[in-house]
Chain A
């Protein structure tokens, strides 16, 4: 019992939690804002890459594949540090929020680009030909015929990547953006107590867990379909 009390005092101390809650609440809002801004932009860029790829222009496709693999290979934190600390040497200084949006978008454009591309390429070419023969405009073919089927096929990696994107926003803590993790670290140093860290982990878990479960189910279904 003594050990449990010691543990609770250290890792779940109610008084320090009440004291630092405003800080964590602000951090949480910034985490949500960063996710809500970045997610649609990254999806849009990834979609654009995949749609451009679907026109099968040889030189363009090589360039697009290089873009995709380059950003899939580049650790997103390295990209963020390069943008935030490197670009100022060229006279381009971005605030930490913008730097995070840019780094996360570039990184995820590679992932989303590859996912959408794989989805679109998995649709038999007959679909496109048939839709064209019916007189649909090439953009109508993409948006009305190909994409709805493609997205249904890659829903699992799409959802999984979106979850990873939201989780990755926590790297913003390393360029001094006071999102949830950063706020928790600041609070921990003010209170000499790890309760803020526990609290931030619990907040991340409670908010993301339902989504993580859903993603896990989609991925399991995808594997089972390979039977």
Chain B
């Protein structure tokens, strides 16, 4: 037991690196929340634009969605951080990570919102229009409230899965939780900081995963 405790739960080392790792945890939370805000809002806006059925916008959105739901998150992060400087655009690790994860989540969110909008029966549009409501009013007052309810369980799962990608920021030297833990581990020659980081990740994500399981249970039954 002693090697296990000394190596993975070494209290002296944990105490020494706790402030640094806690700082990394807050950065992870910040990146995660920002990614969700950017991704979900962009996705909603793009889905609304798509609902207006304007061909050029439709094509552009389809290209965006297909690119970012197909490419691995890490490839996008690495490209933004290491590739764009050749075009004269130097993003900070923070900006590159949020932009990459935000774009990926936006692509999935656009798909989900758009499918959900289409899942609202056509009769709802017709009825609301015949009551004299304009296109935007129908969309915002009648269609979207129903569509968002359909979208929530899928969107929650996707948002959690992509938010876990914040750890990928470590690839571009973002000093988030995993990055801090790894450098602490290298300096201390002991993996206890990594155990601590793992525990903090679980602390953050287990409630979200359990909540999403509960949310799914509220959704429409499929049998």
Q: Hey, which bits of chain A sit against chain B, CB under 8 A? A: 7, 10-11, 69-70, 72-78, 81-82, 85-86, 89-90, 122-124, 153, 164, 167-171, 173-174, 181, 185, 188, 193-194, 197-198, 200-201, 204-205, 208-209, 212-213, 216, 219-220, 223-227
Q: How far is the CA of A220 from the CA of B108 in the complex (A)?
A: 11
Q: Which residues of A contact B220 (CB under 8 A)?
A: 226
* Contact status A78-B119, CB under 8 Å: no
* Contact status B4-A90, CB under 8 Å: yes
The answer, yes or no, to whether B72 is at the interface (CB within 8 Å) is yes
Query: What is the minimal beta-carbon distance from A26 to any residue of chain B, in angstroms?
Result: 17
Q: How far is the CA of A219 from the CA of B155 in the complex (A)?
A: 12
* Contact status B222-A225, CB under 8 Å: yes
Other than A75-B166, A86-B194, A209-B66, give 7 A-B pairs with Cβ distance below 8 A.
A73-B202, A73-B209, A77-B178, A188-B82, A204-B72, A224-B118, A226-B222
User: What are 17 A-B pairs at a CB distance below 8 A?
Assistant: A11-B86, A75-B178, A77-B170, A81-B178, A82-B191, A90-B7, A123-B223, A171-B168, A188-B82, A204-B70, A205-B67, A223-B112, A223-B116, A223-B118, A224-B115, A225-B222, A226-B219
Contact residues on B (Cβ < 8 Å of other chain), bracket: 35 or more
Q: Which of A11, A78, A170 makes the CB contact (< 8 A) with B87?
A: A11
Q: How far is the CA of A223 from the CA of B222 in the complex (A)?
A: 11
* Contact status A223-B78, CB under 8 Å: no
Q: Which residues of B contact A213 (CB under 8 A)?
A: 66
Q: How far is the CA of A75 from the CA of B198 in the complex (A)?
A: 9
The answer, yes or no, to whether B47 is at the interface (CB within 8 Å) is no
Q: How far is the CA of A216 from the CA of B70 in the complex (A)?
A: 10
* Contact status B150-A85, CB under 8 Å: no
The answer, yes or no, to whether B182 is at the interface (CB within 8 Å) is yes
* Contact status B115-A223, CB under 8 Å: yes
* Contact status A78-B178, CB under 8 Å: yes
Q: Hey, which bits of chain B sit against chain A, CB under 8 A? A: 3-4, 7-8, 66-67, 69-75, 78-79, 82-83, 86-87, 111-112, 115-116, 118-121, 150, 154, 161, 164-168, 170-171, 178, 182, 185, 190-191, 194-195, 197-198, 201-202, 205-206, 208-210, 213, 219-220, 222-223
* Contact status A7-B209, CB under 8 Å: no
Q: Which residues of B contact A153 (CB under 8 A)?
A: 222-223
* Contact status A78-B191, CB under 8 Å: no
Q: Which residues of B contact A219 (CB under 8 A)?
A: 111-112, 115, 154
* Contact status B171-A89, CB under 8 Å: no
Q: Which residues of B contact A220 (CB under 8 A)?
A: 111, 115, 118
* Contact status A11-B83, CB under 8 Å: yes
Query: What is the minimal beta-carbon distance from A86 to any residue of chain B, in angstroms?
Result: 4
Q: How far is the CA of A124 from the CA of B223 in the complex (A)?
A: 8
* Contact status B83-A194, CB under 8 Å: yes
Which residue, of A75, A86, A123, has the highest number of chain B Cβ atoms within 10 A? A75
Q: Which residues of A contact B161 (CB under 8 A)?
A: 164
